[in-house]
Amino acid sequence: MGRRNKPPRLPGGNFAAWNRDRLALARRGADECGDVWQMEPGVYVTATAGLCEEVLHRAQDFAKGPSPLFPPLKRSGGAPAPEERAHAHAARMRGLRPQAVAARIGEIAPGTARCVDQWPTGQDIEILPPVRHALEEIGVRYLFSEDAPTLLPFASRLFLAREVLVRPSRWVWPRWVPTPARRFRTRQQIAFTHALRPIVRRRRSSGHLGDDVLGQMLRPSSGYGLLPEEAILDSLPGITVATFETPSRAAGWILLHLARYPEAADRVAAEAALLPADPAATTSTHLESLHYTRAVVREVLRLHPPSWLLTRHTARPTRLADYTIDAGSTVLVCPYTAHRDAREHSEPDRFQPERWLDESGSPAKPGAFLSFGTGPHGCEGAALAMAMLTLLTAQTARRHHVSEPPGPEPSYRLTTFGGLATDGLRLRATLRS
Ligand code: HEM
């Protein structure tokens, strides 16, 4: 076999540049090297939509590693078999698919409305903690309905454990080293599991399984039968945090854009005037009518995909475009650069929600949108996330003008580690007259 072709390597000390400014390096790699480039030996980045999609769809060749955040607890005998994983995924999706979310809009809207109503006006406040708290309540309620109050305190601590784990540190410890952060994570996971187990047993023994996501996981399926209790308990810590963690990062970017683009905010407010005064009366038909608001959410997610870099691994030499990727390589899929490719989106750095609408104002698909990933590991909660974020955006603009604090200081710190986020974001709400 002849010499194998490698993707072009970006010259320079990329590791240091990566630590300094990850977004800038991702853009430089795409600009100077093209669709797929090499950052370090054995570390490749796919920068354009077509190749990102290809890697995410070819899950056999480009494998997603096990979730490092909440690995199965030791007592459960390790990672589930593929068949069990597929069944757990299918069971969760029965509760998370668009039709299931649509049926529960009247439960979600009061939570987002409460968050907006409680936003103190006339002062600059750090907005992400209350928003995260509100989304956490909505997410936990969505998963566990009337059992949510029991699990809510544990969910907050799972989130905290995750925050500590993803904090940048000087050393990358091998997975098996029980660092203080990992021990804290395990303790929180055990506490959550202890709180959840009696709920699972009570629902199973009473036969009242519930219509929420947990209820769907407790139902037997014709092909597979019952999911083992441990499989349910192991998968729910990660799902629970997922319901509010990335959505609250996205919410930060959206609120910032309402502050920076008052005309867009006015247009959202006009659309949101059609929502019922009682948020519990909101239905999927109301939500679907918020075309412009949804376009704003999608446009913000395009420009600032919270999960801006997804990781895959190759187990054997694998062809990608005209290249061969060695076995044991890491392939980083970059929705951020894919979304800012002028071949996909005209004037890609411009905030332009209208690009998601056709001339009649109906939803359109102008180009790549990878903020929720794609393929077999695409986001399970995309419909829930879009519902929460669209409602939060509409209700915020209907009630408030949002502004950034005046002065030379930026209103947030950009972070790229563990997700693209507006850390410490400070904003001011003023009641719309
Ligand atoms: C704006 C909000 C959200 C964004 C931007 C987002 C983004 C993503 C992305 C990009 C992936 C693919 C990861 C990969 O391929 O490596 C993913 C996976 C996932 N998301 Fe989300 N997500 C959001 C909200 C949610 C919510 C509300 C849930 C609630 C259940 C959720 C549950 C999941 C799960 C379980 C996976 C893993 C799927 C798998 O590995 O098979 N996400 N998400």
- Tell me the C-alpha distance between 243 and 183, whole Å: 23
User: CA-to-CA distance for 125 and 365, rounded, in angstroms?
Assistant: 36
- Confidence (pLDDT) at 120: 97
Q: Which domains are present in the chain?
A: 1-70+308-370 (3.30.43.20), 72-302+380-431 (1.10.630.10)
The protein residue with its alpha carbon nearest to ligand 1, atom 23, reads 246
Closest CA to 51 of 409, 370, 399, 420: 370
Cα separation, 147 vs 140, whole angstroms? 9
> What confidence tier does 1 reach under pLDDT thresholds 50, 70, 90?
very low
Asked if residue 385 has its Cβ within 6 Å of ligand 1, the reply is: yes
pLDDT band at 2 (very low <50, low <70, confident <90, very high): very low
Put the strands of the sheet holding 36-40 in their side by side order: 36-40, 43-46, 330-333, 310-313
Coil, strand or helix at 352: coil
Ligand 1 contacts CB of residue 411 (under 6 A): no
pLDDT (tens digit, 9 = 90+) per residue, 120-142? Answer: 999 999 999 999 999 999 999 99
Max mean pLDDT among 181-190, 280-289, 362-371 falls in: 280-289
- What pLDDT shows up at residue 213? 98
Dump pLDDT digits (tens) for 151-193: 999 999 999 988 777 666 666 777 777 777 888 889 999 999 9
> Which residue has the CA at smallest separation from atom 1 of ligand 1?
247
- What is the structure's pLDDT at 366? 85
- Pick the closest to residue 427 from 274, 212, 170, 254 (CA basis): 254
* CA 243 – ligand 1 centroid, Å: 9
Residue 74 has pLDDT above 70, yes or no: no
Tokens of residue 98, six digits: 């668009």
CA–CA separation, 355 vs 342, rounded Å? Answer: 13
How many angstroms separate the alpha carbon of residue 95 from the centre of ligand 1? 15
Look up residue 316 and give its two tokens: 């054997």
Counting from 1 in the atom list of ligand 1, the atom nearest the Cα of 249 is: 1
Percent of the chain with pLDDT over 70: 96
- In the prediction, which pLDDT does 214 show? 98
Is 237 touching ligand 1 by the criterion CB < 6 Å?
A: no
% of the chain with per-residue pLDDT over 90: 80
pLDDT score, position 175: 73
